[in-house]
Every structure is written in C-alpha cells, then in structure tokens.
Structure 1
Amino acid sequence: MEENKARKLLVDTGKKLLETGLVARTWGNISCRLDEDNIVITPSGLDYTKTNEEDIVKLNISTGEWQGIHKPSGEKKIHIAAYQQFPDVNFVIHTHQTYASAIGLAGYEQLDITAEERETLGGVMRASYGLPGTKKLTEAVKVALQDGAKVVLMANHGVLICGSSQDETMDKAMLLEEICKRNTKGNFEVAQYEVTEKVEKLLCDLKEKFVYAALVQTPAVLACANEGKPIYAQVDDMAQMIGRKIPVTTNETEQVAKALEKVNAVLVSGIGAVVRSESQDDTTALELLVDKAAICSIHTAACNVKARIGIIDAALMKLVYKMKYSKQKG
C-alpha cells in the first residue's frame, strides 16, 4: 500500500477502535503492510485521539530498523511475526476487547464456535502469558501463528488479529467479540440501580475533591459490588492503570473518599463502582476497564479458574505505565 494512504488508515483505525470499545486510552496497536519488507505501525504509548499521520512509524520487518519521530509500538515484534508468517496478511490489529480477553483467561478449550466462524476468522488459538513487549510473549504468539492461526488470544493480555485488509481485520475483531460474548459464563442478570438522591449526593460530594469522579453501574460491576469481594487484576490493562485490585468499601461518602485517595477505582456496596482520575478521557477509560475487569472476574469464577496476574508482574506493569505511558499520553 502507498505509505501516505497507510498512515491515514492507521490514524482512522485507531479512532474506530476507541469508538467500538475494542481498546481504551493508548492500549493496543495497529500496523499495515507497505511492501514485502516494510510496514507502518502505531507509535508507543500515544493516545489514538492525538495520533496524526506524521506520528506513525515506518518499520523494516527484516532488520527491525525504524523511521519516525516516535518509537514504534512495544508490541512490534508480534506484528513482525505475523507478517513474516503470512504473506497474504496486510493488516494487523492488537486489541484489548472485553469478551475475547475473558475467553483468553478461561474457556477457550470449550469454545462454542461454528466451522464457518472459525474459517472466517482464519483459525483461532490461545497463546500463553507473557509480560507486554517481552520475548516470552512474542515466542508464545509465534507458536500460535506457526500453527496457522490468524487470530490469537493472548492470555491476560488481549488479542492479535490478522487480515488481508483493514475492513477484513476489523470485521474479524467484531465477529470474535460476538463469539466470545456468547461463550462468557456467569450471572450478569442484575437489576439496574436507579441513581437515587443519596447516590447523586455521594457523587456530588466526591467531585468536590475528585473533579473527574464517575459512577459505574453496569450489570457486571453491580454484581461484583453486591458480592462484596475485591476484583483482582487478571488482564494487564487493569494492572497498568488501576493496579493489583479494586477494593470494596461501604457507601458512606467519607469511606469512599478515603479509599479513592489510595486507588483510582473502588467498588461500593449497593451502588456499583466509583472511579476518579486527572482528566475526563482517563475517567472514561477507567469506566471501561472496571466493567471489563468485572466481566472477567465473574467469568473466571464461573469457570472455577484463577487467572490473577502475579503481584510482582502487576506492580511492574503499574510502575512502567506510570513512568512511561501516562507521560507519553499527555
């Protein structure tokens, strides 16, 4: 593909991924083949809403050399592996989509998927866990790609999706999410709570101290809040932006505020969750992440699977995110 056209396509795709909820904030990455040796790829840690065509990085898949004003995505090696494995692949997206992430944690082996769906996706496999950007993750993904899978569920991480074009790759992402959603286990049948005067006052009081505080009342979040147990990080985006766990507190304003001084997301008994950040777009991302974490928590519990990210790995990802990606976003 002509380079300028490919750069624009990546910028447009990033915004589309945000709109569809397949990624949040700076997570995920996108690439497009230019020719046999070169691709363009999204930069490391730059917000999709602020990414312009000149921010896109040109990368040689044979030498690893790159050209651009930013470093290429930290997941560039899994993109390179996909292009080297499949000559017919011209577009690659790494998403953090909710239900596929849940199935990557538990239930892949029993996946209810038709032969036609599997063929449309180009084959599906699961890759074992590795920290983002590491050789361990790259090698695990390579194994799945070498087995012929063009869709790879990366445990505790997200999904790699390969296609012949941007349209085909996006269609695969949406189809995969439909398949994984119907395979997700657990009880999400929780009545939607009304935002009562007491809840409105709680949020209003909290906003005096945390300007960008918000209430999350999705069925999964309500179910977890009602259960009264913390949500532990099972996917790396939660570990990075929120931390190892989302604690539970009572619905008293003082207790919620005290909890939010230590963490940026907290489950509140009988209400749902409250999140806070330093900007509106970060708060929106936190709302998505808390719901995703709740869905994954309910699903793995129903499957009787423990998929928590280790304490050390969670702390390391939180530190890297705080020191690197949160700064790059600004």
Structure 2
Amino acid sequence: MYKSIVIGTGPSGLTAAIYLARANLKPLVIEGPEPGGQLTTTTEVENFPGFPEGIMGPELMANMRKQAERFGAEFRTGWVNSVDLSQRPFKLQVEGHGELVAETLIISTGASAKLLGIPGERDNIGRGVSTCATCDGFFFRGKKIIVVGGGDSAMEEANFLTRFASEVRIVHRREELRASKIMQDRARENPKIVWSLNRTPLEVLSGDRGVTGLKVRNNETGEEEILETDGIFVAIGHTPNTKFLNGQLATDDHGYLIVKPGTTETNVPGVFACGDVQDQRYRQAITAAGSGCMAALDCERFLEGNSTHDWSVSL
C-alpha cells in the first residue's frame, strides 16, 4: 500500500514526486521504458527558468529525478497495463511488478505528438525535426523551414515561426485545409508563408548537420520532388496517453483528461492529473512542472482527510 503513486516521469510527474517526497509521503513513481517524457528528445532547453545558458533536455530530466530520489521517492520501471478506479484504495497492474495498491494516484502520462511515420523522421528529431514550434523556433532564425499539417495548430505554428524564419512553407497532403477560416486567412495573409498543398511527405532528408530537405509526392502529377529546408515541424496533432485507463476518467472530445478548473482533480476523488495529459493548450515544460506541483498539493490535502489506511502501524 502506497500513499500515492505517480504514473509518468516528465516534468509534471517528477515535480509532483519532489513535492510528495518532501511532504514525507514516500511516493512511488512509475516510469515507462522511455522515462523523462518529450524533453528527453530535445537537445537544448533554453526557456526553462534558472538556466541562462540553457540545459540539455535529458540532463534536466535526470536532475529532476535525482532531486525526487534525494527526498525519498521510489522509482520502478514498467508499463501500467490497467488500473481499477472503482474503489479506494486503487489497484494497478504493472508489467514486471504485479499488482500495486495506492490511496491516491497522480496521472502525468503526457501526450505523444503524432508523427508522419516516414523514413528519416525519428532519426532526425532534435536534428531539425520538431513537434513544438514554441520550444524550438528560436533555433531557426533566418532559415527556411517547413510545417507539415493542415489544421489550426499547423496554421498557428506556421504564423509563430515567421517571427524567426526567413520563409515558412506549409505542406499538406490535400488541397483543402482543415483549419478554421480565420486561421487560414491569417496564414494566407502572412507574406513569409508559402504553400505546397496536395503534397504527400515521403522522406526526411538529412546530412551531417541535420535536416536538408523533405521529399514529397505531388498528388496531382504523381511526380516526386525535394523541398529544401533547414527544419521540419510536424503539426498533425497529439494523442494523450490515457488508453490504459480504459475510460474510467472523464475526457474531452480529444481524449484529454478533464480536471476541475483551478485544480488537478479528476472526476474520481483521489485521482489527480497534471501535465500534457490534461493540457492541450500550452504543452510547455514549465507549465507541466507547475501543474505537477498543484497535483502534489491537491493530493496531500486530500490525504489529510480521506485516508483509508492506518499509516501509524505500517510506518
């Protein structure tokens, strides 16, 4: 029996673990096979407060993990195959560890950016391929870049990237865009944005210094062409990592966990959500960390009046 189990080890989960451990709640943190979240695929983080020269993403995550361990957080690695939230204490089936039981849960499993699934894409994440304009746009000052996508997020990222790039080319596999009219109009009125519609991305091309181009197929002619570029931003959406919950928590139409406004409380008492799994608007390391702090404080206050276990005996 654990007082609290944290699922996920991105900025939100590790911050929650730090706060819970400092409150002497001895949390168990479950990390998947790729611990650290999306920051482990980011080469340099320049917008996390406290690091004026920037810090490597994996190093930042490693430091946060060490900080949580220093205060007594326990870590285990494995997939959470299922959870039972029908009653407290909650039960989790974790690969390699069997059944684990907890009075409270903090879910910080994040959201995975959808990728194109073409050759050269994954190999060049952090070397010119990105899924976050606000994270990496600064590195492309005065350069030509491509945004792949046709929805509102793609139009928004393209407009944002024109602050840095000399040219932003939008590549979309159809002639029509899915974005709202106001977002389309805003993009079309931007003189730095050019269009390559009705093109299907086939391969990310790269050299010693990173991305050099995107091979596409012209869907009208069937011919292949290479669009030269210094960077490719994939903006085709995110998928919140909530499948293991099997619909036991309330979600919005996109699958993101719904929390009570101003808190991290889900619709099940004792279950809290933080980070990108409940945030489709900001998706930043610093906002994720902040919500992790909120989740830990919400969890601590909940335990003060809702414990189902006599901890004076086991501790």
The structure that is strand-richer by fraction is 2
The structure richer in helix per residue is 1
TM-score by length of 1: 0.23
Larger-Rg structure: 2
* TM, length-normalised to structure 2: 0.24
The higher-RCO structure (CA 8 Å, 6+ apart) is 2
